[in-house]
Amino acid sequence: MSSPPRVIEPLSPFRQLVRDGMELAGRKHCVHGLIEIDVTEARRRLQSIKVATGESISFTGFVVYCCARAVDEDKHLQAYLDWRNRLVIFDDVDVSLPVERTYQGKPVVLQTVIRAANRKSVAQIHREIRALQATELDETPWGRWLRWYVWIPRFFRRLVFRLAQRAPTLVKRFNGTVLVTAVGMFGTGTGWGIPLPGHTLCVTIGGVDARSVLMDEHVQQREYLCVTVSFDHDIVDGAPAARFSQRLAALIRAGEGLAEML
């Protein structure tokens, strides 16, 4: 017998949640910057930690650490407008991060939040990510809530999302204050990701490119990370965006926070 010409599957609750979020994110006036960061030293330190301890530290967790430290120096980068058009600026840098877990035996990617990442070490962030990856989504409040999400009428879901956008405390509680996402978490190769972020600040980790460069009159093999930094231009201007990008690059380039693990 010939196979059926097509397969029809129901849209999962996760995809419906993403669709609702993307509709709101598309309303933001975002600007994007594409930068390259030398990660040779950082990757060398990560490899040294693996040799010394046998533990592979999450590269994404390391970038989350650096991003939180850079935002900690200028918290206006994670400001949000409330319903009276006032800026609400939080002290804790809560980083929203997509983490792959299992749901009913299948892998799914769902945003989770690393709370107060600006007060945590690389090791603490790494272990929190690994613990989340090992947790069945069915066992979490999010997983149980999503079972009922699809039964809420779409127009009502989107109305709630739009109202919640002007309630910064609610946004922080459920979605964090900053987004870090990684194209490289799910594949390899050089390239930048261009997100459609719902946050004031989004850092998208792309691929890593190995190349030969001239340094100190010698040709050296270096590795460069492709990073996209995205800002809500209604809140963040070009100068603080540039300063954040430079500071983030400096922290990553220096392998900040990794020396204490050696």
Structure confidence at residue 78 (pLDDT): 96
Other Cβ atoms closer than 10 A to 113: 19
CB 110 within 8 A of CB 101: yes
Q: What is the pLDDT of residue 79?
A: 96
Phi and psi (nearest 5°) for 9? -125, 145
The SS3 of residue 87 is strand
Which pLDDT score, from 0 to 100, does residue 11 have? 73
Beta strand 201-215 with 218-232: parallel, antiparallel or unpaired?
A: antiparallel
The per-residue b/e assignment along 149-174, b for 16 or more CB within 10 angstroms, e otherwise, is: eeeeeeeebeeeeeebbeebeebbee
> How many angstroms separate the CA atoms of 187 and 250, rounded?
25
- The length of the chain in residues reads 262
Is the pTM value of this prediction over 0.85? yes
Q: Tokens 């956008």 correspond to what residue?
A: 165
Q: Please report the sign of the dihedral spanned by the C-alpha atoms of residue 36, residue 38, residue 40, residue 43.
A: negative
Give the Cα-Cα-Cα angle 141, 94, 170 (nearest 5 degrees).
60
d(CA 173, CA 6): 41
C-beta separation of 125 from 136 below 8 A: no
Q: What is the largest CA-CA distance in the chain?
A: 68
The confidence score (pLDDT) of residue 188 equals 57
In tens digits, what is the pLDDT along the chain, a chain of 262 residues?
566 688 887 777 777 777 777 877 777 889 999 999 999 999 999 999 999 999 899 999 999 999 999 999 999 999 999 988 999 999 999 999 988 777 666 777 778 899 999 999 999 999 999 888 877 766 666 666 776 777 778 888 878 777 778 899 988 988 899 999 987 544 456 788 888 888 999 999 998 988 888 787 788 889 999 999 999 999 999 999 999 999 999 999 999 999 887 6
Residue matched to tokens 């997509």: 98
Alpha carbon distance 86, 88 (integer Å): 6
- The pLDDT of residue 185: 47
The DSSP output letter for 150 is T
Amino acid present at 161: F
Rg of the Cα atoms in the chain = 20
- Model pLDDT, residue 189: 65
